[in-house]
């Protein structure tokens, strides 16, 4: 009987691994299974990285799960030089893993997922860097997967028409801080922030991604919805409304936001 009791954690751990790697259950279930993973194998941790986080937020999530000290956390942030390349998903990570290995794992997953994204035949004119910048904006601006392609189409329309993007999420990235909150609400005064990420002041895309997007946002960046709209907003129910002209957009503001 004793040997069966000793085998129980191992069997349980194998069941969890089967769920994760073979049956591909919803990653949200892994958080609920975290207790059982720790019971079955105290050397592994389930780390859920949500879509749309910036590298500092990812560092906070991982540090909490792996019991990193401030030095490990800062090492992660400094090593994560390029925003957007740390794929959001639920990871199974060794509890004593170093920041460099965790970063490498996330970057490898990013490369694997990028290779799976459906890209148009004209993908050669869209560099991965450009697509990633747009995807990161889409991830922060969209109310869900349902409006990502439309927002992508509007962003591309603004780029091709020579308009400034004027995206609030880029201002949030520019002003974000741990003390004030990484995604603090934008005020009219923020539109004058002196930052290369301020798309109200500068034309074109920001110098880098503003977050780490998921597969749906990346796919939307490569495959925008055809639209004549140049403006959009979300109403109080988070439904998107777009407009072809600024006058139409102002009417939408009066109808849906006042």
Q: Could you report the per-residue pLDDT of 135-191, keeping only the tens digit for each?
A: 999 999 999 999 999 999 999 999 999 999 999 999 999 999 888 889 999 999 999
Q: For the residues 111-124, what does the mean pLDDT come to?
A: 83
Model pLDDT, residue 1:
47
Is the per-residue pLDDT at 35 higher than 60?
A: no
Which residue do the tokens 């991830």 mark?
139
Model pLDDT, residue 120:
82
pLDDT band at 48 (very low <50, low <70, confident <90, very high): very high
Model pLDDT, residue 180:
81
Beta-carbon contacts of 135 under 8 Å, excluding residues fewer than 6 positions away, are: 84, 209, 213, 217, 218, 220, 221
Q: For the residues 234-249, what does the mean pLDDT come to?
A: 96
Rounded CA separation 134/115 (Å): 17
- In sequence order, the β-bridge partners of residue 234 are 240
Of residues 98, 95, 101, the one with CA closest to residue 43: 95
Q: Is 150 exposed, middle or buried (0-12, 13-18, 19+ CB in 10 A)?
A: buried
Q: Where are the domains of the chain?
A: 2-114, 125-227
Q: Are 159 and 205 in contact (CB under 8 A)?
A: yes
Query: For all residues of the chain together, what is the average pLDDT?
Result: 87
**Tokens coding 186:** 């934008």
Residue that wins the pLDDT comparison between 240 and 127: 240
Q: For CA atoms 175, 214, 76, 45, give the dihedral sign.
A: positive
Is the per-residue pLDDT at 217 higher than 60?
A: yes
Model pLDDT, residue 168:
96
User: In this structure, what DSSP letter does residue 51 have?
Assistant: T
Q: Where are the alpha helices (DSSP H) in the chain?
A: 2-18, 28-40, 55-66, 70-79, 99-116, 128-141, 148-161, 168-175, 215-222, 246-256
Residue that wins the pLDDT comparison between 82 and 60: 60
For 254, other C-beta atoms within 10 Å of its C-beta total: 8
């Amino acid at each position: 009987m004793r040997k069966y009791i000793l085998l129980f954690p191992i069997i349980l751990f194998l069941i969890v691994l089967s769920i994760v790697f073979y049956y591909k259950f919803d990653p949200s279930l892994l958080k609920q299974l975290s207790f059982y993973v720790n019971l079955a194998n105290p050397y592994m941790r389930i780390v859920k990285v949500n879509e749309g986080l910036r590298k500092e937020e990812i560092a906070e999530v991982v540090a909490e799960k792996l019991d990193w000290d401030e030095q490990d956390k800062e090492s992660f942030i400094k090593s994560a030089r390029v925003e957007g390349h740390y794929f959001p998903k639920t990871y199974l990570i060794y509890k004593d893993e170093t920041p460099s290995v965790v970063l490498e794992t996330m970057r490898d997953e990013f490369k694997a997922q990028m290779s799976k994204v459906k890209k148009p035949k004209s993908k050669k004119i869209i560099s991965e860097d450009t697509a990633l910048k747009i995807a990161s904006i889409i991830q922060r601006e969209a109310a869900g997967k349902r409006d990502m392609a439309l927002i992508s189409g509007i962003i591309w329309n603004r780029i091709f028409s020579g308009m400034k993007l004027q995206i609030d999420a880029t201002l949030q990235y520019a002003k974000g801080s741990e003390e004030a909150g990484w995604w603090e609400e934008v005020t009219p005064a923020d539109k004058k922030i002196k930052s290369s990420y301020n798309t109200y002041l500068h034309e074109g895309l920001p110098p880098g991604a503003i977050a780490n997007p998921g597969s749906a946002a990346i796919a939307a960046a490569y495959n925008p919805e055809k639209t004549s709209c140049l403006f959009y907003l979300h109403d109080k129910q988070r439904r998107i409304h777009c407009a072809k002209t600024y006058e139409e957009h102002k009417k939408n503001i009066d109808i849906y936001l006042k």
